[in-house]
Structures are given as structure tokens and as C-alpha cells.
Amino acid sequence: MSRISKEVINQAKQAQEAARIMAGVPTATKNQALLKIAEELEKSMVEILAVNEKEVLRGQEKGLAGVLLERLKLTEQKIRGMAEGLRKLAYLEDPIGEVPKMWRRPNGLQIGQIRVPLGVIGIIYESRPNVTVDAAGLCLKAGNAVILRGGSEAFDTNQTLHQKITVALSEAGLPVHAVQLIQTVDREAVEVLLGLNEYLDVLIPRGGPALIKRVLDEARVPVIQTGAGNCHIYVDSAADLDMALKIVFNAKTDYVSVCNAAESLLVHQMIAAEFLPQLYDLFQANGVQLRGCNRSLKLVSGIFPADKTDWGKEYLDYIMSVKIVDSIEEAVKHINTYGTGHSEAIVTDNYNQAWRFLQEVDSAAVYVNASTRFTDGGQFGLGAEIGISTQKLHARGPMGLKELTTTKYIILGQGQIRE
């Protein structure tokens, strides 16, 4: 067994032991730990920013893409935002110990379900050092232990953030192994982590398609799939076009490098001739490229021709595909064929069309007359989130505190035996 394997397995054992302790930690103690982490982050801001600045410079020298650099870079505002997120998390209701339902059987047995932590959560992520703090905070509040494996480009920043978290845990009297960070950038560590079904209860990958595919293909631990967002907006024949322009522009340009940014646009043929030239002018003025079907090219000469790969692509850039469709049936079929099950929106004033879209589109979040950029734990009122689940089992959509828990049955008797 290699040195890396031994180290990762040892961390998993420590996390498992910490998880047993965390399951019984009072809410007040968990909240105190979150507040202390926030305090440590703000107190250490100069140190954190200095470490991060060096990594951003290294990333630039290595030719890291602009979108990845944007995710990697921390600012004073971002660190304060991370601290404020932890404080908000501390004031959210603790899901642990909640009894969603209880009933009495004819034999007198009282049977109920109680909410409990998942246990040990492994999170593999890329680029964003803020995930280190967000994931640690959420897992702690839900009574779990977590093993974090960040991307190599943010290794030093993540190490520094983890040190501050460890200090706060110790001061709050919580097990320091409740939040652990893999101490190497070697890919072998991920390989080992994927096979630790004896110690890990769930794995959550956050990153690009290649990372998510590797985790899904190789993991022996249960996986909650998150991330990929080929999000669509369908502008219906009954749409308010001014509203549609605002929604499409916001969904595409507000923050292009996130999974809830819109990547694909469908436009009903009845309003395409009026809508697309207006959208093209707006996008041109803001550096957004449209890649369209043959019908759209005939309406606007400046649109670039799309190929089949464009319909399923998550650009994470100032690019958007556009296709003219003849009906809502065609729009829904296109979305369900090429979408990633993340977030889709319809812009329409037709009630029946809106409800048909809500019912027939198979995605975690489906909108009527609103931007896909709202698919976010904070925007949904859940507090922070661990990611957006695009699967259907256990969790779907923004994963807040409850999604980091499970339930077990509790049965209260008075000597009953089965006859």
C-alpha cells in the first residue's frame, strides 16, 4: 500500500470517528463553531489573500482559462461573504432531531422517523476555494464529518482556509477531524477516496464534466451528481418580449461561469423575426456570441452557425446557442434531449403553456417568467448549498441542510412482541 493510500485511509477513519461524535453535538455548539470560523476568516484576511494572490499569478503563468481564474481568485468582499454565509447558517434551524412524522399502530407501537446526519461526506471539487468553507459549514451544521479534496490550482489557498477552520473547531470543542482536507494534489488520492465505501457514506463531485464522469464511473461510494448546467430558456409565442430580453440577458451574462447560467435559447417561430434581432443587438453590445440554427441565420446575418455539439454544450462563457422551434412540444423535446436536468425557463403570458412546460420539462428547477440564475440555495431561502443535484434519488436541486441528512425509524413500545 502506498504512502498516499495510507494517509487517505487514515483520514477516512478519523472522519468516521468524528462523525460519530458530531451526530450528538448540540445545536448551540455547532453554531458556536460556525461563528468562530467566520471570525477566523475575517481575522486572517490579509494572510488568505496573500496566499491566494500567488496562486492566481501561478495560474496566469500556466495559462489557466479566464473563467477558472475568476473562480480561483478571492477578494476581501468574497471572504466577507463567506463569513457572512457562515453566520446566516448558524441562525438557520437545525434539521437534526426533527421528527417529520409519527404514528401509532393498532398494537400500541409508536413508529416515527427522525432526521439524522448522513455521516462521512466526501467532496471533490475544482477551482473555487470558497467551496472549502461553504462545504465545511454545511456539513458541520448538519452534524456530519467531511473530507475535502480541492483542485490543484487552489491547493495553498485551501490549505490556509482549512487551517483557520481547524483552529475554530478546536476552540469550539469539536473534533478537528470533522473537517479534513486531502494533503496532496496527486490523482492517486482521488482514486483511493472513490473506493472508501467502508468509511464514506456519500461522495459529491463539484466541477466539470470530466471530473463528474470519473467519479460516476469509478466510485464504489454512493454519489450525488451535481454541477453540469446546460440550462435553456424558451421564449414562447405568447411572451412579453421586453421581459424576455431582460430574462435572457440576465440568465446568460450575470455570471457566465456558473452552472445556473443559461447556455441555450429556444424561440418560437412566430416571434423570432421580431425578437432575435433585438437580442442580437443587445448581446453584440455586451460581447456575447450567438450560435444558431439555419433558420436563425436567415433572420440575423451576424449569428454564427451552430453544429450538433452546440445543443448540448455548457459553454461557461459569453456564448449562447439559439434554435427556432415551431411549438412548445418541439421546445420541450429539445430540452429533455439536450438538457442536463438542471434549470429551464419559459417566458410566456399563456397560463396553459406555462403549466404544460412545468409539467413536461424533466429538470430539477423549472421556471416561468424568471431567470435560471435563481437556482441557488441562498436564493431559495435554504441558506448556503453544497451544490445543485441533477439526479432524482435522495436530493434534487439546491442541496441545503436537509439534503445532508437522512432519516431512521424510531419505534416506541411497551413490551410488544410479534405473534
- At 46 the pLDDT is 97
What DSSP designation does 311 have?
A: G
Cell numbers 439526479 label which residue? 391
Reported as a pLDDT band with limits 50, 70 and 90, residue 193 is very high
CA distance 385 to 375: 10
Residue 359 has pLDDT above 90, yes or no: yes
Mean pLDDT of all residues in 215-225:
92
- At 123 the pLDDT is 96
- At 157 the pLDDT is 97
H or E stretch including 169?
helix 155-172
Listed in sequence order, the residues at least 6 apart from 104 whose beta carbon sits closer than 8 Å to its beta carbon are 110, 111
Residue 1 has pLDDT above 90, yes or no: no
- At 115 the pLDDT is 97
- At 383 the pLDDT is 73
- At 381 the pLDDT is 83
Reported as a pLDDT band with limits 50, 70 and 90, residue 419 is confident
Q: What is the rounded average pLDDT for all residues in the chain?
A: 95
- At 392 the pLDDT is 86
CA distance 63 to 69: 9
Residue 325 has pLDDT above 90, yes or no: yes
Reported as a pLDDT band with limits 50, 70 and 90, residue 121 is very high
- At 319 the pLDDT is 97
- At 39 the pLDDT is 97
- DSSP track, 228-240: ---EEEEE-TT--
- DSSP track, 47-92: HHHHHHHHHHHHHHHTT--HHHHHHH---HHHHHHHHHHHHHHHTS
> What letter represents residue 396's amino acid?
R
Residue 71 has pLDDT above 90, yes or no: no
Mean pLDDT of all residues in 102-130:
95
Taking CA atoms, 416 is separated from 107, 114, 131, in Å, by: 7, 21, 49
- Domain borders along the chain are 3-226+386-412, 231-374
Listed in sequence order, the residues at least 6 apart from 25 whose beta carbon sits closer than 8 Å to its beta carbon are 143, 174
Angle formed at CA 337 by CA 210 and CA 237, multiple of 5 degrees: 130
CATH 3.40.309.10, domain 231-374, yes or no: yes
* Dihedral of alpha carbons 149, 153, 159, 161, sign: negative
- At 245 the pLDDT is 98
- At 209 the pLDDT is 79
Mean pLDDT of all residues in 386-408:
91
- At 258 the pLDDT is 87
Reported as a pLDDT band with limits 50, 70 and 90, residue 382 is confident
- At 19 the pLDDT is 98
- 4-20 residue pLDDT tens: 999 999 999 999 999 99
C-alpha grid cell, residue 208: 466539470
* DSSP-derived pairing of the beta strands 179-181 and 262-268: unpaired
Q: Who has greater pLDDT, 206 or 291?
A: 291
Residue 313 has pLDDT above 80, yes or no: yes
Q: Who has greater pLDDT, 394 or 134?
A: 134
- At 212 the pLDDT is 86
- 246-265 residue pLDDT tens: 999 999 999 898 899 999 99
Cell numbers 483542485 label which residue? 151
- At 127 the pLDDT is 79
Q: DSSP E strands: which ranges in 152-218? A: 179-181, 202-206
Mean pLDDT of all residues in 208-235:
89
Residue 66 has pLDDT above 90, yes or no: no
Q: What percent of the chain has pLDDT over 90?
A: 87
Q: Provide Rg for the chain, Cα atoms.
A: 24
- At 64 the pLDDT is 84
CATH 3.40.605.10, domain 3-226+386-412, yes or no: yes
